[in-house]
Structure 1
Amino acid sequence: MAQTNTFNSNTTKPRHTQWGALGDVVFETHSAPGQVTDSRQWTWQAQKLINGYPAHQAGGEGERTMQLEITLHNRFTNIAQTYQTLISMASNQVPRALVIGSDAKGKFALKSIRETLTDTTPEGVVVAVRYSLQLLEVRGENNV
Structure 2
Amino acid sequence: MWGKFGEVIFQLVKTPQSLNRLNRAKFSRISIFKEKEKLHFTGLEPEQVEMSINFHYSFCNPAKEVEKLKEYLEKGESYLLIIGDYVKGKFVIEELREEVERTDKNGNPLKILVNLILREDGLGNQS
Which residue identity is paired with 2:72? M
* Counterpart check, 1:90 vs 2:73: yes
Following superposition, the deviation at residue 125 of structure 1 comes to 4.2
Which residue identity is paired with 1:23? G
Q: 1:115 aligns with which of 84, 94, 98?
A: 98
Gaps of 5+ in 2: none
Pairwise mapping of residues 1-144 of structure 1 onto structure 2 (< 5 A)? Answer: 18-47=1-30, 55-121=38-104, 124-140=107-123, 142-144=124-126
Following superposition, the deviation at residue 57 of structure 1 comes to 1.7
* In 2: Cα distance, 1:117 partner to 1:46 partner: 45
Following superposition, the deviation at residue 84 of structure 1 comes to 1.6
* In 2: Cα distance, 1:111 partner to 1:51 partner: 41
TM-score by structure 2 length?
0.84
Which residue identity is paired with 1:86? L
Q: What's the secondary structure of 1:30's corresponding residue?
A: helix
Following superposition, the deviation at residue 28 of structure 1 comes to 1.0
Which residue identity is paired with 1:63? P
TM-score by structure 1 length?
0.75
Q: What's the secondary structure of 1:104's corresponding residue?
A: strand
Which residue identity is paired with 1:78? N
Contact kept? 2:63, 2:109, Cα under 8 Å:
no
- 1:124/1:51 CA distance change after superposition, 3 Å: closer
* In 2: Cα distance, 1:52 partner to 1:83 partner: 53
Contact kept? 2:97, 2:114, Cα under 8 Å:
yes
- 1:46/1:112 CA distance change after superposition, 3 Å: closer
1:18-43 deviations in Å (ceiling 9; x for gaps): 21110000011222211111111102
* In 2: Cα distance, 1:54 partner to 1:93 partner: 37
Give the root-mean-square deviation of aligned CA atoms.
2.1
* In 1: Cα distance, 2:76 partner to 2:39 partner: 37
- 1:118/1:111 CA distance change after superposition, 3 Å: same
